[in-house]
Structure 1
């Protein structure tokens, strides 16, 4: 999870821009928005402010770089096009969503503007890539790559089995606390998006892997830490980003390309549908709030070859 450093985020912005962003962050914290969401929203607004001051070709961008209340639709469209050219359409789409929230806050909460400049700005179109499911044989290869009695071996097996067995998000597994795991009921307490918590059961193989890891963890230098996952050396926790890098490294060692946690999540949904499982139950297990999510995910899955 990114550390939210407002001073760093607002560096180079005018006093007015920086003040609005500090107030917006306060409002987001009051609304109990997760730190990752707050960071992404604030980053989008800060990047627009810096673009207006450093890159915009518009002759009136100087005023907008000083005060977000004078940003126009043309300014946002130019920023969006610049994001597509210098980053990607998907990045531009993320910025678009963040700016929608920022100017909605200026309009509704602060009443600092009469009309949002986002009102008629189109969302960037992005290509939908089919995501290959994680085959059982590929998961097996990854488990073979981390066999052993060392601390890292037991930790990595527990991680892989938990992702595969629950279909949870990278951050949900990565941010678990020791207290979230209940081996008596073979279940785990996930802290999902939007402060939506849920408890999910896991199978006996995952339970055994977690039990072995926890015994090894008790002897680790960082055993007193509340975080479940620990780095192999030192007394520091293993962050979700560290897990992301770890999975890539394991994939390379096992000869499995493009390993990431969301492939197991897609696989979980895919297998659930193939088995004729109830869609409502799947939504509860995966922490989905919208009925559109299952259809969207199944449409994005690259199925097994016949």
Structure 2
């Protein structure tokens, strides 16, 4: 994370860089996951760069220190995010900045009141995430045919995501010790430091086992990380997995390939088979009742259509 932090703070005024460094230390002491820390810090760094950017008509103190940021500055940044990115991205930045200025207010006592206090959250339109069909996953797996390291590794990753519905960060952060091939299980470290052990299906367990054997002959075999990059003795990061899935999707002719689609698909298949919602929450590492509804939204529409066709309302006359 230190390398990422250096990139995020590069070119920022000294006060902004110092505050972000201190905030990162505070987040690490609170055992926040690395992905959460990065997203939080990225939002604050983007705000700092926006305030110091060329589009600012006149210099102001907020460009030099986050302690001078006002509600007007945040609202302008938020509107810019909506225009140049999307409302969903702006909402994520809003939530991250809430945490940053809360830290400045409560922990550091640098400001008396957060500038986020009366900034409205951007309204977003919830889009249904399409689920993966079995043939889509098969097309991706077909691109991994071969015995060389990259094909064996990528097949194991795709099967793991499909078979367990793991978050990208959970799959990417797996350590070699998290895999128990005697019981065919993996241990995921979820949000909030909550561990859970998930059983692997036979095909997934076989793919992971083959990868572990190939990994033992790789230059980076001594690293604790489960997934290794092709070249050199270094781990495969979450971003590396994301790019791999994108490449495999293009090669297979499958649009929109990302890890979270398998998570939505897992929830859909579970509910379609009549699985218990409480058990689903345990398997996927959820603590909020809202999550099954959110992840099942796309699938719920499909299930409703299946029920509608079966009932034949209006077709009996």
Relative to the length of structure 2, the TM-score reads: 0.88
Distance 2:138 2:52 in 1: 52
Structure 2 residue aligned with 1:200: 198
Indicate the SS of the match to 1:134: coil
Alignment partner of 2:197: what SS?
Answer: strand
- CA gap of 1:103–1:228, structure 2 versus 1, over 3 A, is same
Give the direction of change, closer, same or farther, for the CA distance of 1:275–1:103 in structure 2 (3 Å limit). Answer: same
Instruction: Tell me how far apart the structure 2 counterparts of residues 64 and 190 of structure 1 sit (CA, whole Å).
Output: 41
Consecutive unaligned residues in structure 2, runs of 5 or more: 307-317
* 2:54 is the counterpart of 1:63: no
In the alignment, which residue of structure 2 is the partner of 1:296? 294
Describe the superposition over 1:257-286 as per-residue Cα deviations: whole angstroms up to 9, x where unpaired: 222111111111001111111111111111
Q: Tell me how far apart the structure 1 counterparts of residues 211 and 4 of structure 2 sit (CA, whole Å).
A: 34
Match of 1:146 in 2: 144
In 1: Cα distance, 2:3 partner to 2:91 partner: 21
User: What secondary structure sits across from 1:100 in the alignment?
Assistant: helix
Aligned to 1:32, the other structure's residue is in SS state coil
Q: Show the counterpart of 1:19.
A: 18
- 1:175 CA drift (Å): 2.0
Change (3 A) 1:147 1:118: same
Which digits, 9 at most, give the CA deviation of each residue in 1:25-72, with x for residues without a partner? 22212111122222221222222222222256576x612223322321
The counterpart of 1:189, out of the listed 187, 190, 207, is: 187
* CA distance in 2 between partners of 1:149 and 1:15 (Å): 50
In structure 1, the residue matched to 2:170 is 172
* Contact 1:132/1:303 (<8 A) preserved: no
Q: Secondary structure, in 3 states, of the residue corresponding to 1:232?
A: coil
Of the three residues 80, 85, 88, the one matched with 1:87 is 85
Q: How many Å separate the matches in 2 of 1:13 and 1:158?
A: 40
The 2-side partners of 1:154 and 1:13 are apart by 42
**More divergent stretch after superposition (112-121 vs 251-260):** 251-260
CA contact (8 A) 2:35 2:169 kept: no
Out of 235, 238, 241, the residue aligned to residue 236 of structure 2 is: 238
Q: Residue 296 of structure 2: SS of its match in structure 1?
A: helix
Query: What is the Cα-based RMSD across aligned positions, in Å?
Result: 2.2
**Contact conserved, 1:128 with 1:300, CA < 8 A, in 2?**
no
Q: Tell whether the 8 Å contact from 1:248 to 1:259 is kept in structure 2 after alignment.
A: yes
For the residue of structure 1 that corresponds to 2:101, the secondary structure is helix
Rounded to whole Å, the distance in 2 between the matches of 1:151 and 1:234 is 13
Distance change (3 Å), C-alpha of 1:86 and 1:233: same
- Deviations 1:221-248 (CA, angstroms, capped at 9, x unpaired): 3222222222334433322222222222
- TM-score, normalised to structure 1, is 0.91
Judged with a 3 Å threshold, the aligned counterparts in structure 2 of structure 1 residues 140 and 16 are, in CA distance, closer, same or farther, namely closer
Supply the distance in 2 between the matched residues of 1:242 and 1:3 (Cα, whole angstroms): 18
Distance 1:289 1:8, change over 3 A: same
- Number of aligned residue pairs: give it: 304
Could you report, residue by residue, the CA deviation over 1:80-130 in whole angstroms, capped at 9, with x for unpaired residues?
A: 111222222222112111110111112211222222111111111222221
* Post-superposition offset of 1:200: 0.5
Partner Cα separation in structure 2 for residue 216 and residue 225 of structure 1: 14
Partner of 1:130: 128
Match of 2:103 in 1: 105
CA contact (8 A) 2:176 2:224 kept: yes
Summarize the alignment of residues 194-273 of structure 1 with structure 2, pairs less than 5 Å apart. 194-273=192-271
SS, match of residue 143 in structure 1 = helix
Q: For residues 122-160 of structure 1, what are the alpha-carbon distances to aligned partners after superposition, in whole Å with 9 as ceiling and x for unaligned?
A: 111222221111111221222222223332332222212
